[in-house]
Amino acid sequence: MKFHPMRFDFYLGRAVFGTVLLTWAVLVGLDVVMAFSGEFKDVGKGSYTLGHAAASVLYTVPRRAYTFFPTAAVIGSLMGLGQLAATSELTALRALGLSRKRLSASVAIALSLMTAVMVINGETLAPWAQDRSDNIRASAKSGQSLASSRYSGIWVREGDTFLSAGSGDEQLLPGGGTRLVLNDVRLYQIAEDGHVASLTHAGTVEHGADGWMLHKVRRDTFGERSATRTTAESEKWDSRLDAGALAAGMSKPRNLAARDLRTSIEYRKRNGLDARDYEDIYWSRWFYPVNVLALCLAAVPFAFGSLRSGGMGKRLFLGILFALGFWLLQLFFGRMAGALKFDYRIAYALPPIVMLVVSGMLFRRKSG
């Protein structure tokens, strides 16, 4: 089977590309309209206006596009190939000597290009835009600045130390990069027997390239029958706590990029915290392109069989049925992985395998 681009590759790719884009636009558009209507109840809280609601929802479009792409891909592929099958164009291509595998490869190439764009979007534009959306909502409702609204009421743990911060913001540095500044910070150091060994209060805490720096420090150290207070204008805090873990802790796991999810997983495991929610989303990102291609390839045999007859409604129904069935399989194995505590990589590998095996067994003969 040769994979050199031919004219029919572009023809099939254009047909699938067009129907996938159309389906995608409809699904994302409906979701955006529903999300915007859901914001009406919050209009009037603080300084949150209809303009803030519109901006907040528009910033979520990249994330919504990433989420709905697998569904749009399978529905759009079935609709595009079904149209070609209904007009006997697929039959004509088969008569020219093209195998079913070769035609499926043409569809897979077109979908791979779109999937690659979505993977990049899911790791770059979507998390940034979602963060902007969250900041707009929080700042308008609370009246705080965009930056400080992202970090407020922070509680994190690093080893035997618990950190509490009233607020914080990220500052852009002149030479590039960012610096995290936390305000009204308290560090609680817990001894092995569970009592508070020391309480450190810092007016501000900065995190940059050189690590953590405490400013305007007041430390109370508690002995068995005594307490000692020391002060310092500034001092270095040796900690493995990463600024990215703070940012990730303030956002839902599904809104984070894979690198931020990995940082959160390492932080939680290092401190003995449950990281399975983050592992679930993290491995779903890795299997995202595999799921899209497997789902669409599993549906391709329909185009050579049952989609030769029937209208748009039949193709739409089959597309929704495939997408729903795959989602239920993924949900089932994901919940099983969470309950039985086995590797999420196995849970996310099983649904595409099951879909491909069942599709191949059922339609090997019928699709010729």
Instruction: Extract the tokens encoding 319.
Output: 């597309």
pTM above 0.95, yes or no: no
Residue-wise pLDDT for 4-50, tens only, equals: 667 777 888 888 888 999 999 999 999 999 999 998 888 888 788 88
Burial 59-69 (b: 16+ CB within 10 A, else e): bbbbbbbbbbb
Residue 367 CA to residue 301 CA, distance in Å, equals 6
Per-residue confidence (pLDDT) for residue 120, from 0 to 100: 94
SS3 assignment, position 264: helix
Residue-wise pLDDT for 240-250, tens only, equals: 777 666 666 56
DSSP-derived secondary structure letter, 361: H
Closest CA to 359 of 264, 288, 295, 307: 295
* Average pLDDT over all residues of the chain: 81
Highest mean pLDDT among 117-126, 230-239, 252-261, 313-322: 117-126
Closest CA to 248 of 212, 284, 277, 285: 277
- Tokens 């308290």 belong to residue: 186
